[in-house]
Structure 1
Amino acid sequence: MTIPARSPVSDCIIEAGTVLTGLDADGGMQMRHDVGIRVDRGVIAQIGPLEAVGYGQDHLPRYGSRDMIAMPGLVNAHHHFGVTPLMQGIPFAPLELWLPQFRAMRPVDTRLDTLYSAIEMLESGTTTVQHINSGLSGTPDGWMATADATLSAYGEIGMRAGFCFMIRDRNILGYDDDAEVLAGLPTDVRDWIAPKLAAAAIPISELMAFYQDLRDRWLPANGDHVRLNLAPANLHWCSDPCLQAIMDTARATGGSVHMHLLETERQRDFAYKRYGHSAVEHLKAIECLGPELTLGHGNWMSRGDLDLIADCGCTLCHNASSGLRLGSGIAPVNEMRRRGIPVSLGIDQSNIADDRDMTLEMKLVWALHCETGLFNERPDAAAVLQMATEHGARSVGFGGFTGRLVPGQQADIVLMDRRKIARPAIHPRTPIVEALLHRGGRHAIHQVFVGGRLVVDGGKVVTIDCDAVLTEIAAILERQDTPAEATARTAVETMMPHLEARLRASSLGKGQKSYRYNAMADGT
């Protein structure tokens, strides 16, 4: 299969009453008012008075109006797949008791699944995504087919995407060695799951070779819209040689790395039990911290951990809804920001409303980190917007390419209707960026552009037949279980009490205290 180059982007002029261009060095939102944005071959060529921008450009299509607020396209810096576990009958639970149940989920065609969440993202203003495939198994032909289907779907709908696949080489079923866990399972369950583990036990050298093949296949013709990254799953899932091989490959190729870390208390305790120090300290010791690394979640980091991360130039990806819905915790975002650590935002599997609405996630992030003091530092609306745009672009590998609305960067633009934000009215002294964060949302999004290409018009995706996608997915989800699916559900239901018993018997998380708002991992 030859991957075709993307079709040329549309040149155009976009009018807005206010353009939020990005934060200045002091953390203030820079704005332009009553201007036009001229897009040339997908890039912002000029921002200025509409008359000047449009002079001699009568042939270009025009969009927007002075009623529009233009902001950079949002970035979902941590995403997995489309049809959510809840939609497949899996209720929320602590992470370690939630993930194993995914093995009972019904497979959904990769293209349809990718398009489903992409529709939700684009219609809520997200133009770029870090797609973290849950993990590869089988043969390289199957791996490439999955990657091709995923990236082709994002290209079809019009989004930019970073693609990576979760890599694990140990402890797949929990925090203990898999052979030990398997030995404690009933024979029928062990016979069902052991082949699946074997199919996913791929040597790290083969995965790194596949990663290079993927880069060679996709980047030459799609470098404006695709990034190929690496995703070590987590410290307890990856041996030291595995992590070092991943980091060496990323540094040799210029790729980015996105690693789940310290999502739960149990993960924090695992590191201390196994290594005698924190997970971040261990990554530092094996030379796996650096500016190419984004750490996802980070809910249980100590101040010392954050100092190390700040020194190494890592990015953090905050998944607020995920931490709350799974009882995993709240990342210490204010402590991160005090140290100058870039914080991006991810919706993870889905947000607090079980969809991919980044405008809702941004509201949650703002509220979650107000804290309780009278005079404590807290992110304002501009800071949250930067997390969801510029910092997200950096995390996915598009830093300096998109994330701001300035000449030279890609024309990834969201137009929100000021009238819908203000309805019925809003006082002129209300800062525009505050109004956009707190009152804006999917209902106010009028148009979305990616590289100057109109992908959402009137609040709806226009690049694909969305109704057809949803109809096909509904047909898949509503049919009766096949015999194989029924067997999978029975096996998972039988397996879960055994996994739960192992967790209860372990010492991980035994020191859990009453929930304390924004407590640091070191208890202060």
Structure 2
Amino acid sequence: MSEEKTGAGADCIIEAGTVMTGLAADGRMQLRHDVGIRVEKGMIAQIGPLEAVGYGNDHLPRHGSAAMIAMPGLVNSHHHFGLTPLMMGVPFAPLELWLPRFRAMRPVGPRLDTLYAAIEMLESGTTTVHHIASGLTGTPEAWESSTDAVLGAYQEIGMRTGYSFMMRDRNVLAYEPDSAILAGLPADLADWLKPRLAAADVPTAEYMAFFKASRAKWQERNPLTLRHHLAPANLHWCSDDSLQMIFETARASGANVHMHLLETKRQAGFARARYGRSAVEHLAALGCLGPELTIGHGNWASESDLDLLADCGCMVCHNASSGLRLGSGIAPVNAMRRRGIPVALGIDQSNLADDRDMLLEMKLVWALHRGTDLFNDRPDAAAVLQMATEHGARSTGYGGMVGRLEPGQRADIVLLKRESVARPYLHPDTPVSEAVLHRAMKDAVHQVFVEGHKLVDGGRVVSIDRDAVLREIAERLAQPETASEQEASRMVARLMPALEQVHRDHPL
């Protein structure tokens, strides 16, 4: 570890030849040139000529150089776990036939899994993440142990974090009641599934009590780097009573809500079949739309759905790679932007390269929403960068704290090597934001700071022993599968044809 990382923010001076501070009201990226950024206790205290910023501050550590481009740390507003399903042998399939296969994935433990994802994010310039745990099972003691391991890992490596856990109280296996699906399975397969479903069958009130206790334990101790949010899993997974309790708790505690919604065509069909209206219309009827809500995905939102979301001040987190890789759909981002709906970006389970590279994800988002009209209102590079910074900061609970490089903001800063972006030549008329979005790859990331602490140096995480983490993961997974892991693989292989038939028998 190159420098001591403590709970308090660092003091330092960071030099850059160009600073991308954030978007102005007219949508243009604001720039500063040949400046120093003075960081005091993790906050940007001053940006100005290096001589002025450095005056009287010779004692401060100095980073960067005039050969660097500084930008706000990127935000991954929708993340689940580290080792990807592809890495763990799960083939790609439509979402409904993909998620059940996760039950056969081998675990490496929440700490190692979290650190692996955090290494990938930091080394590609992501400084803030919303970690949406797939769900809490077992006893409250197990919930606490798992949550503590995840949050402890992010604190260990130094990332700024939003945290939530997905909640379901119905239809875990498909869109039909679990009891009906279990009744149609062979007895031994149903007997294997029942205790696993029961472990996640928790009254919402108990989850709310745990949320409050964990929030008091972690967020109040780390108010600058941790936020607790609530994550009802999806409309077909949550009863009306559960949803209303979750939103009531969120509003009383000032927490954000992140809800998967309208990710797939079948999810949209479920709402119509069950309620006779769209999923967004149903949430509106329940009083569950508001500025605290981020819709995850929103691929199948209609024009009227978007009007409702805009009127209620909701956000959307666009998970472009996920929608394409699983065949789930493409979010109508341009229609969202026309209505003033803030759009954040998430990498979800992984991006097109099966990692957590937000620099790559932004390129996809830009290309995906070009449209085919000659005069189309399409997002430019600056708008996509805002999605991955300022809008993401709001969704993850850090609005007004990170996402811009200005005095008063927390010092989450990425330094890119200009030579990597401009190699071998870049015309001076090319906007910096366009050059960064289209040309910056992971090899351009030189240093990454959170709260002024240097977490990445020379493109590699230095706040922990990254290579030791990777070795330990490899060693654990090199061990022979246990008897229970082998059984899980056999049972899931038998389960999948049955679930496929359930979906065929109940088209939406």
TM-score range for the pair, normalised by the shorter chain length:
over 0.9
Q: In the alignment, is residue 303 of structure 1 matched against residue 332 of structure 2?
A: no
Secondary structure, aligned partner of 1:88: coil
Contact 1:88 1:477 in 2 (8 A): no
> SS of 2:454's equivalent?
strand
The equivalent of 1:198 in structure 2 is 198
CA contact (8 A) 2:167 2:232 kept: yes
Rounded Cα–Cα distance in structure 2 between residues aligned with 1:330 and 1:252: 34
Check the 8 A contact 2:67/2:419 in 1, yes or no. Answer: yes
Q: Which residue of 1 aligns with 2:84?
A: 84
Within 1, Cα distance between the matches of 2:221 and 2:60? 26
C-alpha separation in 2, matches of 1:93 and 1:313: 33
1:343-379 CA-to-partner distances (Å, cap 9, x unmatched) read 0000000000000000000000000000111111110
Paired positions, count: 504
2:257 aligns with: 257
SS of the aligned residue for 1:64 comes to strand
Contact 1:219/1:226 (<8 A) preserved:
yes
Q: What's the counterpart of residue 489 of structure 2? A: 489
For residues 121-174 of structure 1, what are the alpha-carbon distances to aligned partners after superposition, in whole Å with 9 as ceiling and x for unaligned? 000000000000000111111101111110110011110011100000000000
Aligned-partner Cα distance in 2 for 1:462–1:244: 43
Contact 1:402 1:409 in 2 (8 A): yes
Query: 1:8: how far off?
Result: 2.3
The corresponding residue for 2:52 is 52
Matched, 1:449 2:449: yes
Contact 1:82–1:116 (Cα < 8 Å) also in 2: yes
Aligned residue type for 1:245: M
CA drift at 1:507:
2.2
| Cα distance in 2 between the residues matched to 1:296 and 1:394 | 14
Q: Following the alignment from structure 2 to structure 1, what is the Cα–Cα distance between the partners of residues 6 and 273? A: 49
* SS of aligned partner of 2:60: coil
Matched, 1:218 2:218: yes
How big is the shift at 1:107?
Answer: 1.3
Kept in 1: contact 2:81–2:117 (CA 8 A) = yes
CA distance in 1 between counterparts of 2:169 and 2:500 reads 22
Other-structure match for 1:105: 105
- What amino acid sits opposite 1:223 in the alignment? P
Give the drift of 1:80.
Answer: 0.2
The residue that corresponds to 1:435 in the other structure is 435
Q: Which structure 1 segments of 5+ residues have no match?
A: 509-524
Determine if the alignment matches structure 1 residue 157 to structure 2 residue 149.
no
**Corresponding residue for residue 245 of structure 1:** 245
CA distance in 2, matches of 1:431, 1:398: 28
Per the alignment, residue 507 of structure 1 pairs with: 507
* Cα offset, 1:412, TM superposition: 0.2
Is 1:382 equivalent to 2:382 in the alignment?
yes
The answer to whether the Cα contact below 8 Å between 1:6 and 1:221 also exists between their aligned partners in 2 is no
Is the 8 Å Cα contact of residues 6 and 155 (structure 1) preserved in structure 2? no
Distance 1:440 1:507 in 2: 44
Offset of 1:185 from its aligned partner?
0.9
Q: Match of 1:465?
A: 465
CA distance in 1, matches of 2:476, 2:77: 28
Structure 2 distance, partners of 1:234, 1:67, is 46
Does structure 1 retain, via aligned residues, the 8 Å contact 2:391–2:403? yes
CA contact (8 A) 2:9 2:43 kept: no
> What SS does the corresponding residue of 2:428 show, helix, strand or coil?
coil
Contact 1:167 1:238 survives alignment (8 Å): yes
- Partner letter of residue 87 of structure 1? M
The offset of 1:6, in angstroms, is 4.9
Task: Report if the CA contact (8 A) 1:334-1:377 is conserved.
Answer: yes
Shift of 1:441: 1.9
Structure 1 runs of 4+ with >2 Å offset: 5-9
Pairwise CA RMSD: 0.8
What is the TM-score when the length of structure 1 is the normalising length? 0.95
Residue type of the alignment partner of 1:243:
L
1:19 aligns with 2:19: yes
- For 1:290, the aligned partner's letter is G
The correspondence of residues 78-477 of structure 1 with structure 2, limited to 5 A, is 78-477=78-477
Structure 2 CA distance for aligned equivalents of residues 209 and 8 of structure 1: 29
CA–CA separation in structure 2 for the residues paired with 1:441 and 1:404: 21
1:446 CA displacement? 0.6
CA contact (8 A) 2:295 2:315 kept: yes
Taking the aligned partners of 1:271 and 1:109, their CA distance within structure 2 comes to 36
Contact 1:36 1:48 in 2 (8 A): yes
Q: Kindly indicate whether the alpha-carbon contact (under 8 Å) linking 2:280 and 2:305 is maintained by their aligned counterparts in 1.
A: yes
3-state DSSP of counterpart to 2:378: coil
Question: What amino acid sits opposite 2:66 in the alignment?
Answer: R
Q: What is the aligned partner in structure 2 of residue 515 from structure 1?
A: none
- Matched AA of 2:270: F
- Among all aligned residue pairs of Structure 1 and Structure 2, give the percentage whose two residues are the same amino acid: 68
- Is the 2:265–2:328 Cα contact (8 Å) retained in structure 1? yes
Q: Provide closer, same or farther for how the CA distance between residues 6 and 228 of structure 1 changes in structure 2, counting only shifts above 3 A.
A: farther
Q: How far apart are the structure 1 equivalents of 2:221 and 2:43?
A: 17
Q: Is the 8 A contact 2:351 2:361 kept in 1?
A: yes
Paired with 1:474 and 1:185, the residues of 2 have a C-alpha distance of 36
Deviation at 1:9, TM superposition (A): 2.4
- Secondary structure at the aligned position of 1:301 is classed as coil
Q: Any idea what the Cα deviations from partners look like across 1:271-299, whole Å, max 9, x if unmatched?
A: 00000010000000000000000000000
CA distance in 2, matches of 1:478, 1:302: 47
Contact 1:163 1:228 in 2 (8 A): yes
Displacement of 1:334 after TM fit? 0.3
Does structure 2 conserve the Cα–Cα contact (< 8 Å) formed by 1:17 and 1:33?
Answer: yes
- How far is the alpha carbon of 1:7 from its aligned partner? 2.7
> Residue type of the partner of 2:437?
L
Q: d(CA) in 2 for partners of 1:83 and 1:269?
A: 31
SS of the residue 1:87 aligns to: coil
Q: Is the Cα–Cα contact under 8 Å of residues 359 and 441 in structure 1 kept in the other structure?
A: yes
Deviation at 1:188, TM superposition (A): 1.0
Q: CA deviation at 1:477?
A: 1.8
Q: Partners of 2:186 and 2:403 in 1: how far apart?
A: 51
Aligned residue in 2 for 1:514: none
Structure 2: segments with no counterpart, 5+ residues: none
How many Å separate the matches in 1 of 2:33 and 2:467? 37
Partner SS state of residue 215, structure 1: helix
CA contact (8 A) 1:6 1:222 kept: no
